Structure 1
Amino acid sequence: MSVAQGDRLQSVVHGAVLALIVGWVLYVGKQVFVPMVFGVLVAYVIIGLARALTALPLVGRWLPAPLRYLLSILGIGVVVAAGVSLVVNNFGRVVQLAPTYQDTLLQRIQQGAEFFGLRAAPTWTALREDFLAQVRLQDLIGSTVVSVTGVGMTVLIVLLYVTFLLLEKRVFPAKLRSLSDDPRDVSRIHQVLDSINSRTGQYLSVKTLVNVLLGVVSWAMMAPFGLEFAGFWAVLIAVLNYVPYIGSFLGVLFPVAWAIVQFGDPGTVITLLLLLASAQFVIGNFLDPYLMGNSLNLSPFVILASLLTWGGLWGIPGAFLAVPITAVLAIVLSEFPGTRPIAVLMSRNGRLDGRRGGPRGRAPAGPPA
């Protein structure tokens, strides 16, 4: 083995060991990293909304920055509060309507048992006894309380991160200029952060717009059928669409499964299935790529692999964060000669568009960055 081959093999081994160590740290420290990344993304949304307010006719350009940020935060708070209220109200309605759908659900189960040739169709008594034998209600209630408490603590930590990131925004460019005495190094850092800010901000804004549109269209398809909780299903479809591929499938599966319980009519269920699937197909394959353009520049395989990787490391939050994190990683890898081939392989078309496109010598938009 030549010296060059030995050095190359040593570099590969070092890289693999480093990747394993980083993966282990991310997995062990997910309670710290997940709220931090969510805080950065929420700060991106707030900053984007604050900038969008300057485009308001007549008053936009005269609104002071603190007022624009305050309005953006209040707007996001109203949306989140409305979503929480919708979930709570629908949960209460599910409890109230459960006895109504009990007979329908039992009928579907019995039909399924007959279809698969089971000898005895189950009854509610048998199902209840089997459920209680498999699940301890005390453990189920306890785990639910722990989960709700954990979500509440995570939201609080995210809010703290967002607050301090917004406070850091004003002084962040000055900190960057102090990192190096060489203007070229500072310019390169500015360029990388500009690219991250631009691509991440564009992805979040366009994806949010597309998801809201998908939710509205899905609601318009479900409401005429009289599907219960159509508003809740529409919100769930919009949120799940942040998760590539799998989110679209689940966004169709959940309301259709409820339609089976509520209606039981194969024609109605199939029609609703086709309508929701067509909305996902048209928006996901035509409108989304048209609006998104090449902002992420990630291949579909890389997106799927990142979804599985970050989902394995961080669970459900990792599935939502997979695409933005991978896009940032690709941008950083494209800036170093040793890792640039990896960025090329991660790209959609083999071209690192925008790697040198950022303006030089100018401070980026500030954190999040």
Structure 2
Amino acid sequence: MEIKLPSYFKYTVILLGIILLIWLLQMFKSVLVPFAFAVLFAMLLLPLVQDLETKLRVPRPIAILFSIILIVIVLGLVIWFLSVQLLNLTSELDKIGSNVSDLVDKVQLFLQTKFGIEPSNKSDLVRNAISSLQNLATTFLGNTISMTTGAIAALTIVPIFVFCLLYYRDHLQQFMFRFVSKDRRSSMIQTVTNIQEVVQSYISGLMIVIVIVALLNSAGLLLLGVKYAIFFGIFASILTIIPYIGILIGAMLPALFTLATTGHLIDAVLVIVVFMVVQFMEGNFITPFVVGSKVSINPFAAILGLLIGGEVWGAPGMILSIPIIAMLKVIFDVYEPLKPFGFLLADIDDVEPKRHKKVTNWLQEIWNGIGRGKRKKSDEEPE
């Protein structure tokens, strides 16, 4: 006998379930975040591992270890380059301090000339600025140590998770089969395949986007004569893994550095202009062309997921938000009761293709009508 529950009770249970889920995600963050990254890396490395196993007859453990070592080497080289550049950047601190003092003089002179504001004691301003920088440096150092500790832990846990996921993938597939009947296993395999394709498309496309954006950023900064242009260009491009706002955050550091080293506001403005142009190209041309339509999430859902991911898991949550939303959309599109949510997450170009097709056909009919009119007029002209 089926028991019908009141709507308010059902929605209350759903709301409590969401609250409990968020609490569990925050409570087990230290385990779930590395596991989530491991799932993404495992899906990315799966085609390489399969090719090594089938085409080159490499044993599965060796193929997995080779793939993991390859990723670790690439990430290690990037981290090494950024660390070396950052150490070289610290040698500019004395020059930055003197330039900040000169910049304070210029600002005080401008305020006195234009607005009649008497300059305050420069030593106090410099002392307060240095105190603020020291507090900021202390906070940044503490966060860096915390992030480094977390990174070291991740470097040990994530590869283990990746190895296990790839090595026991057949066993995990059989595990999932036990939850569905035999007539639905083919649809489940198709759903898992679609999720894998979406994740692979997103991660591989994102890597290509990072390389292209790094080249564009570095080229623009080199044209402006900014010191450490390659470092700032690569650093800002890596932040594109945080959608929409990552590259803007990455633009602030070279802009402030340029302002402190040159003392001219126009130079910092030009640096920001370079990053704005690159951001426009990345959002409207590079990412849509490279990533394609497989990760078709509308901007509102992406921004909302970005904020929720940052609130639940911090910076890792912001990085994981888009691929997780893309995977959820694939599941929502397959499961009938959740299809409305898949429709809500979809991009408007995917859910309303007919309207765009009608507009295209209408424009084509107008063009054909103009062509027929020209041909008719030419036929009526006397020889």
- 1:143 to partner: Cα distance: 5.8
Correspondence 1:141-290 to 2 at 5 A: 144-180=144-180, 182-290=181-289
Alpha carbons of structure 1 residues 52 and 83: separation in structure 2 relative to 1, 3 Å? farther
Contact kept? 2:235, 2:250, Cα under 8 Å? yes
Where in structure 2 are the equivalents of 1:314-329 lying within 5 Å?
314-329=313-328
Q: Deviation digits for residues 292-339 of structure 1, max 9, x if unmatched?
A: 232122111000000000100011111111101111122222332222
TM-score, length-normalised on structure 1?
Answer: 0.81
* Structure with the greater alpha carbon radius of gyration: 2
Paired amino acid for 1:193: V
Matched, 1:339 2:338: yes
Distance in 2 separating the partners of 1:291 and 1:22: 34
Mark the runs of 5 or more structure 1 residues left unpaired by the alignment: 55-59, 354-369
Give 1:164's aligned amino acid: C
Are residues 1:127 and 2:122 paired?
no
Q: Distance in 2 between matches of 1:163 and 1:122?
A: 59
Aligned counterparts of 1:275 and 1:224: Cα–Cα separation in 2: 10
CA–CA distance in 2 between the matches of 1:190 and 1:197? 10
Distance 1:51 1:277 in 2: 41
Q: Which residue of 1 is the match for residue 360 of structure 2?
A: none
Say whether the 8 Å CA contact 2:297–2:346 is kept in structure 1: yes
Give yes or no for the alignment of 1:105 onto 2:73. no
Is residue 113–residue 121 contact of structure 1 (8 Å, CA) maintained in 2?
Answer: no
Contact 1:48 1:201 in 2 (8 A): no
Root-mean-square deviation (CA, aligned residues, Å) is 3.2
- Which AA in structure 1 matches 2:341? I
Asked if structure 2 preserves the Cα contact closer than 8 Å seen for 1:298 and 1:327, the reply is yes
TM-superposition CA deviations, 1:124-155 (whole Å, max 9, x none):
76236744996895x87666534422321122
Q: CA deviation at 1:161?
A: 1.1
Amino acid at match of 1:102: G
Residues 200 and 143 from structure 1, CA distance in 2 versus in 1: closer, same or farther, beyond 3 angstroms?
Answer: closer
Higher relative contact order (CA 8 A, sep 6+): 1
Measured in 2, the distance between the counterparts of 1:190 and 1:95 equals: 53
Equivalent residue pairs, number:
343
Residue matched to 1:30: 29
Q: Identity across aligned pairs (percent)?
A: 20
Deviation at 1:171, TM superposition (A): 3.7
Q: C-alpha offsets along residues 263-285 of structure 1, whole Å, 9 cap, x if unaligned?
A: 22344333332222212211221
Q: Does the aligned pair in 1 maintain the 2:217–2:237 contact within 8 Å?
A: no
What do the CA deviations read for 1:76-121 (whole angstroms, capped 9, x no partner)?
2222111221232123213222112211123334545666757415
Could you tell me how far apart the structure 1 residues matched to 2:109 and 2:187 are? 68
Deviation at 1:233, TM superposition (A): 1.4
Quick one: which amino acid aligns to residue 46 of structure 2?
A: I
Q: Name the structure with the higher helix share.
A: 2
Give the SS at the match of 2:154. Answer: helix
Name the TM-score, length of structure 2 as normaliser. 0.78
Say if 1:7 and 1:88 are closer, same or farther in 2 by CA, change over 3 A: same
| Compared CA separation, residues 284 and 125, structure 1 to 2 (3 A) | closer
Distance 1:53 1:277, change over 3 A: farther
